[in-house]
């Protein structure tokens, strides 16, 4: 059974950088109504910790090893609908914002947000409100949805590591020709001149 302090908003912080986890925890613990009950180093650990501790809010980074913040948000919201998720990330990309909201996040702010605003964002998310970085929300509105299919995103992520079409094909159980077709489609959708440029564009927009 989870011990709860009356009037406290209980938090779990998930970030793969120890310094960031510590800084966020220290800042938020200064607030009289906030209590950090756990910190996680990756998405998978965050999901397990939320299931165990049942916090009110999980502050979640996006780019983490193995299970990223978007997938972790999807998993923990499905298993623990009482815990709300506030994305706190360095990567202010429209595609990440849309993906996070689709996964069930209640808020999305960047890490250089002042401490008072971060604390207030936590309170608003806990109260059932949505909190979005205004500039990023506006950019996302004009960018539109991610044009890449799930398979195209998968192929492009592997291509970003410099793998050949043949190597990608063996990993995703497709023919090399099909992989090349997916990459050609990606290049067309991103307006890129080549595969490398398509990777950069998709990463900048948060599509992969």
Rounded Cα distance between 45 and 16, Å, is 10
Whether pTM exceeds 0.85: no
Domain boundaries of the chain, sorted by first residue: 9-141, 150-205
Averaged pLDDT, 177-198: 88
* Per-residue DSSP letter, 8: P
Instruction: Single out the residue of 145, 57, 154 nearest to residue 99, CA to CA.
Output: 145
* 9-141 and 150-205 share one fold: no
Pick the CATH number of 9-141 from 3.20.20.140, 3.40.50.620, 3.40.50.2300, 3.30.420.40: 3.40.50.2300
Architecture of domain 150-205: Orthogonal Bundle (1.10)
Averaged pLDDT, 20-25: 93
Count of CB atoms within 10 A of residue 66's CB? 11
Strands 57-60 and 9-14: parallel
Rounded Cα distance between 175 and 89, Å, is 36
Segment 101-140, tens digit of pLDDT: 889 999 999 888 888 999 999 999 999 999 988 766 656 5
């Amino acid at each position: 059974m989870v011990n709860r302090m009356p009037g406290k908003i209980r938090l779990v912080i998930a970030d793969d950088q120890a310094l960031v986890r510590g800084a966020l925890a220290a800042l938020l613990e200064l607030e009289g109504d906030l209590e950090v009950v756990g910190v996680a180093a990756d998405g998978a650990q965050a999901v397990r910790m939320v299931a165990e501790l049942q916090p009110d809010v999980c502050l979640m980074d996006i780019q983490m090893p193995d299970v990223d913040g978007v997938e972790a948000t999807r998993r923990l919201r499905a298993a623990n609908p009482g815990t709300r998720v506030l994305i706190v990330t360095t990567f202010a990309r429209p595609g990440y914002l849309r993906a996070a909201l689709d996964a069930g996040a209640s808020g999305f702010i960047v890490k250089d947000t002042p401490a008072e605003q971060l604390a207030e964002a936590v309170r608003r998310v806990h109260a059932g409100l949505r909190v979005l970085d205004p500039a990023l929300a506006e950019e996302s509105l004009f960018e539109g949805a991610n044009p890449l299919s799930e398979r195209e995103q998968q192929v492009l992520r592997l291509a970003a590591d410099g793998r050949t079409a043949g190597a990608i094909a063996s990993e995703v159980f497709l023919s090399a020709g099909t992989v090349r077709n997916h990459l050609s489609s990606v290049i067309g959708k991103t307006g890129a001149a080549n595969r490398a440029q398509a990777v950069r564009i998709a990463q900048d927009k948060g599509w992969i």
